[in-house]
Chain A
């Protein structure tokens, strides 16, 4: 017993030592700031986007939306128990998928456009084929012991999920089984984003940490701290070397993978609402962040300044997305509407 306690104490000491070492290593490379590098960048001025379409169709709060790779179709999920696939050019609803469980929290479009996936308080991720005559359930991925917070397809045969059970998981859609379970977070996993090369992904959780994972090895490669509350949203910067997070602490942060630390924060004393969602414009210069204050605020990612706002929703903005061609922004809200802006 005594030897166990002694070993425990020595391990704790080693942990503290390693944490101090990591902080010192981060400090040692912290030789400049984004604002000094941004000095030479041109100003974006005031970004004023116009509301182009209001998509009406859901009967309850919208929790999630995701663009298809064609930059034209988009899928939304509402706690009215439906997924709607929209043609955003015409504003028409193309497909309606009735859900077994209305408590949906996340929806995703497969890159092929053939499949969509959703899940929520049922702890499952259900995959549907939307190209068949009527939407057909392809798979029910049932192994998480907590809610499904986020899902993203790698292809028609693999999907990544983030769960309230504190794990993320890579699934094989051909067998319906878990391939790799990613454990390391100590709080509900709320959001995930895949790298372009699909070799890594980042996750944000209620332990206020963001983590970078090796998708094939299943290992956590880096851990990023700084937020003081749940991280609800996460997205890669288009160069792939950085990612942005949005949190209940009312701020967004950009973390650089190669410097292993936060390089700039986005907060404003007048903004006292949590960040629910975020999306980036194609150059990475603009961040569209959805907040609990019913607005989507636009940030200049390089200068750290607020440069615009998308106002029009009558309730919390719960989801935001920019299509692959970068032609606009879609916001989804608890007011049951989706809005398209550019």
Chain B
């Protein structure tokens, strides 16, 4: 690379870092609490946590049923 293309590339890096530096950051304690709360609120809707009963398990080997 020539000298000036090094400069162009470097300017882009600086611009990107300036942008990334400018964001507002939320406290980790708040972020963690929000993540925990989401898990708790959705726990009952999580079949892999609550378990899947054999009657509603879509992957269980199918039993033949006949309608009389």
Measured CB to CB, the residues of A under 8 A from B are 1, 4, 7-8, 11-12, 14-15, 18-19, 21-22, 25-26, 28-34, 36-38, 40-42, 44, 47, 49, 52-53, 71-72, 88-90, 184, 219-223, 237-239, 241-242, 254, 256, 258-261, 263, 281-286, 301-302, 322, 325-329, 340, 342
Distance of A184 Cα from B33 Cα, bound (Å): 32
Of the four ranges (under 10, 10 to 19, 20 to 34, 35 or more), the interface on chain B belongs to 35 or more
Distance of A242 Cα from B33 Cα, bound (Å): 12
Sample (20) of A-B pairs whose CB atoms are under 8 Å apart = A29-B25, A31-B29, A36-B29, A37-B36, A184-B16, A220-B16, A221-B20, A237-B35, A259-B31, A260-B23, A281-B46, A283-B41, A284-B39, A284-B42, A285-B43, A286-B49, A326-B45, A327-B58, A328-B52, A329-B48
Across-interface contacts of B18 in A (CB, < 8 A)? 18
Distance of A302 Cα from B42 Cα, bound (Å): 13
- With A260-B25, A283-B41, A283-B49 already in contact, 16 other A-B pairs whose C-beta atoms are closer than 8 Å: A14-B14, A31-B28, A32-B32, A34-B36, A37-B35, A37-B36, A221-B19, A239-B38, A258-B31, A259-B25, A282-B47, A284-B38, A285-B46, A327-B57, A342-B47, A342-B48
Across-interface contacts of A285 in B (CB, < 8 A)? 39, 43, 46, 49
Residue contact A239 to B28, C-beta cutoff 8 Å: no
Across-interface contacts of A33 in B (CB, < 8 A)? 28, 32
Residue contact A282 to B60, C-beta cutoff 8 Å: no
**What does the 1/0 interface line of B6-40 toward A look like (CB < 8 Å)?**
11001101101111110101111111111110111
Residue contact B57 to A342, C-beta cutoff 8 Å: yes
Q: How far is the CB of A148 from chain B (nearest CB, A)?
A: 25
- A88-B59, A283-B45 known; A258 and B25 CB under 8 Å? yes
Across-interface contacts of B46 in A (CB, < 8 A)? 281-283, 285-286, 326
Across-interface contacts of B55 in A (CB, < 8 A)? none
Across-interface contacts of B3 in A (CB, < 8 A)? 1, 4, 8
Q: How far is the CB of B19 from chain A (nearest CB, A)?
A: 8
Distance of A239 Cα from B35 Cα, bound (Å): 7
Residue contact A44 to B20, C-beta cutoff 8 Å: no
Across-interface contacts of A340 in B (CB, < 8 A)? 59
Distance of A136 Cα from B14 Cα, bound (Å): 46
Cβ of B62 within 8 Å of any chain A Cβ, yes or no, is: yes
Across-interface contacts of B25 in A (CB, < 8 A)? 25-26, 28-29, 258-261
- A11-B14, A89-B58 known; A282 and B7 CB under 8 Å? no
Residue contact B10 to A261, C-beta cutoff 8 Å: no
Chain B residue with Cβ nearest A53:
B59
Q: How far is the CB of B65 from chain A (nearest CB, A)?
A: 14
Across-interface contacts of A28 in B (CB, < 8 A)? 25
Residue contact B17 to A328, C-beta cutoff 8 Å: no
Residue contact B7 to A4, C-beta cutoff 8 Å: yes
Residue contact B29 to A37, C-beta cutoff 8 Å: yes
Q: How far is the CB of B21 from chain A (nearest CB, A)?
A: 5
- A1-B3, A261-B28, A342-B47 known; A37 and B20 CB under 8 Å? no
Distance of A203 Cα from B64 Cα, bound (Å): 45
Distance of A312 Cα from B32 Cα, bound (Å): 34
Chain B residue with Cβ nearest A240:
B38
Residue contact A19 to B17, C-beta cutoff 8 Å: yes
Distance of A221 Cα from B25 Cα, bound (Å): 13
Residue contact B11 to A11, C-beta cutoff 8 Å: yes
State which of B21, B30, B41 has its C-beta within 8 Å of the C-beta of A25: B21
Cβ of B66 within 8 Å of any chain A Cβ, yes or no, is: no
Across-interface contacts of A259 in B (CB, < 8 A)? 25-28, 31
- A4-B3, A29-B26, A283-B46 known; A342 and B59 CB under 8 Å? yes
Distance of A241 Cα from B31 Cα, bound (Å): 8
- A37-B29, A220-B16, A285-B49 known; A302 and B60 CB under 8 Å? no
